[in-house]
Amino acid sequence: MNKSRQRFQAVVRKEVILLLRDRSTLVMMLVIPIIELFLLAYSAVFTIEHIPMAIFDQSQDQGSRELINAYTNSQFFDVAMTVSGNKEVVAAIDEGKVKAGLIIPSKLSEKIARGEGSVSFMLDGSDLFTLQSSFAAANVIAQQYSLQLLVKDIQNNEMVLPADPTEMSITTSVQTLYNPNREDLKFIIPGVVAIILQMFAIIGVATTIVRERELGGAEQLLATPIRPLENILGKIVPYIVLCLFELLLVHFFGHFWFGVEFKGSFWLYLLLSFIFIFSSLGIGMLISTLASNQNQIQQIAALILLFSFLLSGLVFSRMPMPEWAKFIGGLLPMTYFLPIVRGIMIKGVGISNIALWKNVGVLFGFCAILLCTLPLLSRKRLD
C-alpha cells in the first residue's frame, strides 16, 4: 500500500510539472472562464426592450399621437426616426436602422370615430431574439388602446358601464420563481462553470495521456512497477485540483463582482461538482483510448463542445428536443450537472430534493463505468 502511494505520488508530481511547464495552456484555461463570464454577463440579454421603431404618421392628429404614446409607454418600443413614406419604413428595416415600423393612415381620429381605424405595424423577422419579446407585445398594445377607445366611445354616449372600464377585470400576475427579475447572470454562471469544467477535464486528461503515448513515455512506464490504476489516478489528481480552482474562481467573480447570491449549500455543491469533474475526466480517458494523436483529440473535443453547447440544456431547452437529441445530450456529464448546479445555486434545493439525486445518481454511474473499464482499456493498449 505504501509503495503504491509512493508510485501514485510520483505520477502526480510528474503531471504537475508538465502542467506548470505548459504555461500558455495553463493561463488560457484560467483566463477563458473569466473572459467568458464577463462577456456573457455584459452581452447576453434575454429580454429586450426599447426596440427602435420608425414611424410614418400621415395623420398627425390626436388619435395618432395617442397610439404612438401607447407603443412607447409600453417600454417595448422607442421612436427612433420619423419617415414620410411606406417604402421608407421598409427601407429603414431593410438597412437595419430600426427593428419595427408603424404606418398610420391619414385622418386616423376621424376613422376611429367611424369605427374603421386601421394601422399597420411591421417587425423585423430576421432578428429572432428581438422578435420574440416584441411580437405579442405589439398586438396587445394595439388591442388595449382599441379597447380604451371603445370605452371612451361608450362613455360619450352616456351609458353606464358595470365596472370601472379602465381597469381589467382579470389581472395575471406572473411570478418567476427563484430568479424573480430573470437576471441573465443567474443562468450564465452555472452554465459557464459546467461547460468550462467539462471541456477542461476532458481535453486536459485526454491530451496528457495521448501525448505520453505519442512521445513513447507510455512504453517507458511499462518497464516500471507502476500499475495502470495508479498511473491513471495520478494523472487525474492535478486536474481535479485545477478544476476545483477554476470553479472557485468563477463563483468568486460571480459572487463578489456581479453580486449573484448563492442560494443553497455551497459545500453540498462542492461535493457534487467533485463527482462531476470525476465523470468528465472519465470521459476524457475514454477518448484518450480511442484517439491516436493530439490532433484527433482536438477534433473529438470540438464535437463534444458542439454537443455540449447545443444539446445539454446549457442554452437551448432540452424539453422540446426529439428523443435522439435528448439521448446524445444524455451522454454528456454536464447534462446532469446543469440541473444540479442550477438547482442548488438558483433554487436553493438541498439534499431532500429527489430530482437532485436522480442526476447525482447518473453522474455516479459515469464514474463507476469509467473506473471499471479504463484500467482494462489501458492495459490492453500496452500489450
Partner 1 sequence: MLERILAVIKKERTAIIRDKPTMVMSLLLPLIQIVLFGFAISMNVRHIPTAVVDLSMDIASRAYLDSLVNSEYFDIRETLLSQLDAKKAIDENRVQAAVIIPSDFTEKIDRGDGNVLIMVDGADPFVSLSAYNNANIVGQEHAISVLKETISRVPGVSELVTEDPLEAQTKILYNPDLTDLWFVIPGLIAMILQVQAIALVAVSVVREREIGTMEQVLVTPITALELLIGKMIPNLFLLLANLALILFVGVIYFKVPFKGNLAEFIVMALIYILASVGLGLLVSTVSKNQKQAFQYNIMLTLISLSVSGFAFPRSQMPVVLNWIGYLFPMTYFLPMVRGVMNKGIGIGLLWPMACMLVIYVVVIIFLTSKMFRKQLD
Residues 289-308 that bind partner 1 (CB under 8 A): 294-296, 298-299, 302-303, 305-306
94 counts as binding partner 1 under rule CB under 8 A: yes
Cα atoms in the Cβ-side hemisphere of radius 13 Å centred on 299 = 7
The correct pick among 167, 223, 225, 256 for binding partner 1 (CB under 8 A) is 167
Is residue 285 left, alpha or beta, with left meaning phi > 0 and alpha meaning psi from -120 to 50?
A: alpha
339 counts as binding partner 1 under rule CB under 8 A: yes
Q: Using CA atoms, how far apart are residues 310 and 305, in angstroms rounded to an integer?
A: 9
Instruction: Please give the C-alpha separations between residue 161 and each of 145, 165, 166, 171, in angstroms, as whole numbers.
Output: 18, 7, 11, 19
The correct pick among 107, 227, 255, 347 for binding partner 1 (CB under 8 A) is 347
The correct pick among 234, 254, 264, 343 for binding partner 1 (CB under 8 A) is 343
21 counts as binding partner 1 under rule CB under 8 A: no
Q: Using CA atoms, how far apart are residues 184 and 63, in angstroms rounded to an integer?
A: 38
Cell numbers standing for residue 29: 484555461
Q: Using CA atoms, how far apart are residues 278 and 354, in angstroms rounded to an integer?
A: 22
The correct pick among 21, 115, 223, 372 for binding partner 1 (CB under 8 A) is 115
The correct pick among 11, 15, 59, 130 for binding partner 1 (CB under 8 A) is 130
Cα atoms in the Cβ-side hemisphere of radius 13 Å centred on 13 = 6
116 counts as binding partner 1 under rule CB under 8 A: yes
325 counts as binding partner 1 under rule CB under 8 A: yes
Cβ-contact 54, 102 below 8 angstroms: yes
Nearest residue (CB) to partner 1, 170 versus 223: 170
Q: How far is the CB of 218 from partner 1 (least distance, A)?
A: 19
The correct pick among 187, 269, 276, 366 for binding partner 1 (CB under 8 A) is 187
Instruction: Please give the C-alpha separations between residue 109 and each of 55, 67, 104, in angstroms, as whole numbers.
Output: 17, 10, 11
82 counts as binding partner 1 under rule CB under 8 A: no
Q: How far is the CB of 290 from partner 1 (least distance, A)?
A: 12
CA dihedral 107, 111, 114, 118 (to 10 degrees): 180
Nearest residue (CB) to partner 1, 207 versus 279: 207
The correct pick among 20, 168, 271, 376 for binding partner 1 (CB under 8 A) is 168
Nearest residue (CB) to partner 1, 104 versus 277: 104
Backbone dihedral angles phi then psi of residue 273, each to the nearest 5 degrees: -70, -25
Instruction: Please give the C-alpha separations between residue 82 and each of 49, 85, 124, 145, 223, in angstroms, as whole numbers.
Output: 19, 10, 17, 21, 81
218 counts as binding partner 1 under rule CB under 8 A: no
371 counts as binding partner 1 under rule CB under 8 A: no
Q: Using CA atoms, how far apart are residues 217 and 4, in angstroms rounded to an integer?
A: 20
Q: Considering only the stretches 234-242, 254-262, 337-345, 361-369, report the one whose residues sit in contact with partner 1 under the rule CB under 8 A.
A: 337-345
The string of DSSP letters for 212-260 reads HHHHTHHHHHHTSS--HHHHHHHHHHHHHHHHHHHHHHHHHIIIIIS--
The correct pick among 17, 20, 147, 290 for binding partner 1 (CB under 8 A) is 147
Q: How far is the CB of 172 from partner 1 (least distance, A)?
A: 3
Cβ-contact 204, 239 below 8 angstroms: yes
Site for partner 1 in 226-245 (CB under 8 A): none
**How big is the chain, counted in residues?**
383
The correct pick among 215, 271, 290, 315 for binding partner 1 (CB under 8 A) is 315
The correct pick among 131, 232, 287, 334 for binding partner 1 (CB under 8 A) is 131
105 counts as binding partner 1 under rule CB under 8 A: no
Q: How far is the CB of 163 from partner 1 (least distance, A)?
A: 4
Q: Tell me how crowded residue 21 is: count the other CB atoms within 10 A of its CB.
A: 9
Q: Considering only the stretches 112-120, 226-234, 267-275, 366-374, report the one whose residues sit in contact with partner 1 under the rule CB under 8 A.
A: 112-120
Q: Using CA atoms, how far apart are residues 271 and 363, in angstroms rounded to an integer?
A: 12
Site for partner 1 in 51-70 (CB under 8 A): 52, 67
28 counts as binding partner 1 under rule CB under 8 A: yes
Nearest residue (CB) to partner 1, 4 versus 25: 25
